[in-house]
Each structure stands twice: as structure tokens, then as C-alpha cells.
Structure 1
């Protein structure tokens, strides 16, 4: 009898959810969607593909993540509508709005709108333990450093940070998985990661060999924070098996973005799927612990999509002024 009651209740809930979904105005919704992520082996790809699949399943629309060059390219793809959604960091977003995105210099990419807060991207350095590199000061002159895919947040900012700290290096680019393999094979001396933690490529390296995760000194951290749009951040000790204590770092906020011309009801529905159940997002990637409604205020750069703004106003008490909402 208890089993029968539970079954009936479950059916009732399912029918109720279906009926609620049928009341949503789907006028103009696309038949499918893509989410611009980054290279395989990085956090963007794992996180972005995960929420794309979740949204596709919940809303009954075909969709998924797409491998891209990262935040700069995602801004371009979403601005032009070649991708409905994407992911970016605040630095590349600001540069894209100003028309200094290297993909299309002189073009202000103003048709990419903020959708929801994702997480902070820490900047961290990894080397093989066998290299003897345990600090930024230990990095040898002319070191071969992998900075991630060309045009990514890491490639855009980390070389400048290294130069600011007085490091002379040979610049290398590639996907995170590929760079991790090159580090292990001795083809690189260091990898400079800008990605949500734990970075899949670093976790994989830890399984295969001994690595050093190098933190900034207090002085180095202060120097970088003064010169770049980043904030103080500590990589928690439990993030990697290699760490025995929190590692001093800096970070930059990431936001999901949507083409500003997408229907309001569609974007609102997507935001609801992602933001209404944080446990599901954390199951996709641990970095999603910060994918919570209260972090809506971390966007001070992009115009909000009307559908996203509506969700945060109604569900998070967000005080988003009309001047920051696209089309208002």
C-alpha cells in the first residue's frame, strides 16, 4: 500500500511538472542550441557540456557543449549568434565590449548578454616535482610555459602577469589535455592555468606523476592585483591531493552568456534549470559551488539578458537597474 501511494504521488508530481512546463510560452524558441566552452581537459568544457546536457534534458531541446578557443571566441560566437550560449570571464568580456577582442578588432561585441554567474577562475602554476620548480622565482630564464588555447583567459592575462613578475619565457599554446601531456613528456617546463578548480588536466597529472602546484607570494599576489582585474583567492587544500595547505592565488569571475536576441522566456527557463538546484550543478563540476543566485552581483560589465534579469529579480531579489538590462 505504501509503495502504491508513493508511486501515485510520483506520477502526480510528474504530471504537475509537465503541465507547468506546458504553460511556458515557447514562441521563437530554437529547435537546438550550442554552448561555447573551451578546450577538452579544461573546466569550461566539463562545466559547459554538463549544464548544456542538463538544460537539453529538462527542456526537451537538443543541445550540447562545443569545443572553442575559450572566452574571447565565445564572446564572438554568441555576439554573432553562431552559438546561442557561451561562457566568458569578466576581463575578456570587457575587452570584447570595448572592441579590443583580437578575434575581431574594432568590433564592439554588445550582443552578448549576461545570463548567470558561474564561478571564479583562479590563476595557478603547475610544474613537475622533478623540475625542482617550487616558486615563481624558481622558473628558469627562457622557460617553456604553456598558457592554454590562444585567446583564452589564461593566454590573454597570464603571459602579462608573468612579465609583470619578471619571468622571461617561451610562450606555448594548446588545449589543456595536450599541454598536460607535453609537461609530463618534458616538452614544457611549466603550465600556467586559468581555469576553475579542480582543473581536470591537473587532477589527471596528479594520478600519473608527482607535481608541484605553485602559489604566489603575498608580494606577487599584491602586484598582480594592482595591475590586473583580479581579486584575492585561495585554492583550498582539498582541491588537489598534492596540496597540504591552501595555495595563494588570484581569480577572475566567469559568467554564462546568451545571445541578446534569444526569446526572454527561453533564457529565463534555461536560467531556472541551472540556478534552481545547485546540487545538480555541483555534481557536474565542483566549481559550481559558486553557481548560486546571490552571486548575480558579480557582473559589472555585461548588459543582462531580459529573461535572466527577470529570473534573478523574482527569485534572488536582484536589484538590477533597467540601464543594465538589454533593450530597456
Structure 2
């Protein structure tokens, strides 16, 4: 009898241990014991592309990987780099120019943010301007002496626009920081000659003003490749007919937006995270149309400036993507 009771006790104990083990694995968010219990995703201001994309992505991967996820509104790429580097956020959305500078401790960065690692690229943006017809502007050199709207102070079009003007020796009449609604009114009132964006083609304000005011699109021009190398970003062309009346390709600087993470996040978890992202492309497109550009083939170009997380490297190598040496971490 005592022996029988002992066997029952052992059986119950083993069953409880098994159940507790299963609960423990589930509470860690997935199949790996080193998976995080949840992730924080740093995006940007509410209503912007980063925040919309991050929120939709977070919902999708949370369900696929059975892990909690929380999207935080932030000031954008630079704060996100700082948060991820400190380990205060597991995931951050960035543009690759600031990420390159942050990792290397140049430009805006007063130190090296060497804990950040790339995951996957989102979409490509183009530095371009639209000029009022009365300003007689055909190329960036014609900006000399003109009044230019470069967006919010310290924002991507302002940051790179001012660097381009300085490096090309273009002395502007005046820089006006502000928003696109303000720029539209100023341009129509004759108080501003040009406005700019570092965004995907088809920028809504540019499209509107082409239709109503016959503005023309201008890019960086033939120095794009040289400047891109200096800034650690990419270059390309705004293809002909991207805007009404634009009959030729326009060379300019380009920049990819991307997801980054901390270098110490679980390799297995990151592998599954990246895999789930690419397998969910159609769902992401429903969240934001820019997800149509999600493509592992652009990874070698888009993410070359900053080391990649080993979990992401494993995924890309598995699907046959040839990665540049620059993405492999020193460790």
C-alpha cells in the first residue's frame, strides 16, 4: 500500500514538473528558454509611417511567435538608437544614415553606439525638392540665394539637405524650418522658393503642388554617389514618371529605413522574428503600403553600414542571400 502511494506521489510530481516546465517555456514567449518574455518596440510620433508600421508589425509577430509586444512612440531614429543601445528597448525603427553614424560615433553621435545590430530593411526614401516655376530652378546649383524649406529642424531632409548644400558650396538665401502645410502657403504667397522631403516618391504635398502650381522636382544630381559614400548611405534615381511631368530619371541620395535590435538578444529568437516578418509580407502591406518594398534581395545594399544580428544573418544565409563582409559583427 505504501509502495502504491509512493508511486502515485512520484507520478503526480513528475506531471506537475512537466506542466510547470511547459508553462515556463510559454511565459518566455516561445520555444526557447532564452527568449524574452516580451519586447518593447520604439517607433516615432503617433500617426507617422514608423508608428503605423511598427504597430501593425508588432501585432503580427506577437501572434506568430506567441510573445507580448509593446510599441512606444518616440522622437524617431536617433532616440531609438540610444534606447536600443542601452537595452531599454529590444527593437527600434531607424534610418540607416543616423544608424551608421551612431554605430561609428560620427556626425550626430558623441559616442559609439556599438550595441546596435540590424534586422531587416523596410523601404527606400529619396532626397528631393520641389521648386516653384517662378524661381527658375532646374538643378540643385540653382538653389544659390533661394529660400528653402528643409522640414523640421534636425529631421532627415534638414540634416542631409544642409550637409549637401555645404559640401557642394551652395549658399542659400534662407532656410525655413516648418511643416508641409505651412510650406505650401508660403510658396503660393511668394515667400518660399523650394520645399524638400527625404521620403518615398509620390510625396503627397509634392503631388498636390505639381497639380495646382506646376512645381518641378529636383534631386542632388551627379554628385549623389560621391556624397552617399561620404555619408554612409545609398544613392539611386527617382525614376522617370514618378511624378507628373517628370520625364527623366533624377539622380539623388537615398536612405533605407530599417529595424534594429540589441546585440545580446537571443539568436534563435531573432532568427524566428526575421523569418516571421518576411513570411508576413502580405499582412504587412495591409498595414502600410510601404511594406510592398520588404525584400531580402535589397539587404546587402540596404544594411551594409551597420553590423547585423547573428540571428538575422542565419536567416539570410539560409535563403541564399550573399551578405557583404561589413554586416558580420567583430565578435
* TM-score after normalising by structure 1: 0.73
Task: Give CA-to-partner distance per residue, 1:30-62, whole Å, 9 cap, x none.
Answer: 334223346755x44444444334333433444
CA distance in structure 1 between the aligned counterparts of 2:135 and 2:297, rounded to whole angstroms: 42
Check whether the contact 1:126–1:213 (CA below 8 A) recurs between aligned residues: yes
Residue 184 of structure 1 corresponds to 184
Q: Are 1:68 and 2:74 matched, yes or no?
A: yes
CA distance in structure 1 between the aligned counterparts of 2:235 and 2:32, rounded to whole angstroms: 43
- The Cα shift of 1:281 comes to 3.8
Query: Which of the residues 154, 157, 165 maps onto 1:154?
Result: 157
Q: Are 1:87 and 2:93 matched, yes or no?
A: yes
Q: Are 1:311 and 2:311 matched, yes or no?
A: no
CA distance in structure 1 between the aligned counterparts of 2:176 and 2:46, rounded to whole angstroms: 15
Structure 1 unmatched runs, 5+: 1-21
Check whether the contact 1:55–1:274 (CA below 8 A) recurs between aligned residues: yes
Matches within 5 A, 1:95-114: 95-100=101-106, 102=108, 105=110, 107-114=111-118
Matches within 5 A, 1:152-231: 152-165=155-168, 166-173=170-177, 179-186=179-186, 189-199=193-203, 202=206, 205=208, 209-210=212-213, 212-216=215-219, 218-219=221-222, 221=224, 224-225=227-228, 228-231=231-234
- The Cα shift of 1:110 comes to 0.8
User: Max radius of gyration: which structure?
Assistant: 2
* TM-score after normalising by structure 2: 0.72
CA distance in structure 2 between the aligned counterparts of 1:224 and 1:125, rounded to whole angstroms: 17
Q: CA RMSD in A?
A: 3.7
**3-state SS of the aligned residue for 2:319?**
helix
**3-state SS of the aligned residue for 1:185?**
helix
CA distance in structure 2 between the aligned counterparts of 1:322 and 1:231, rounded to whole angstroms: 15
Relative distance call for 1:196 and 1:257 in structure 2 (3 A) is: farther
Structure 2 unmatched runs, 5+: 1-28
Task: Give CA-to-partner distance per residue, 1:236-257, whole Å, 9 cap, x none.
Answer: 3564456455443221333321
Check whether the contact 1:293–1:316 (CA below 8 A) recurs between aligned residues: no
**3-state SS of the aligned residue for 2:215?**
strand
Query: Which of the residues 237, 246, 252 maps onto 1:249?
Result: 252
Task: Give CA-to-partner distance per residue, 1:89-123, whole Å, 9 cap, x none.
Answer: 33322221222353x51x21011111112233211
Check whether the contact 1:147–1:159 (CA below 8 A) recurs between aligned residues: no
Instruction: Tell me whether 164-173 or 215-224 shows the greater mean CA deviation.
Output: 215-224
Check whether the contact 1:114–1:303 (CA below 8 A) recurs between aligned residues: yes
CA distance in structure 1 between the aligned counterparts of 2:202 and 2:60, rounded to whole angstroms: 21
Relative distance call for 1:145 and 1:207 in structure 2 (3 A) is: closer
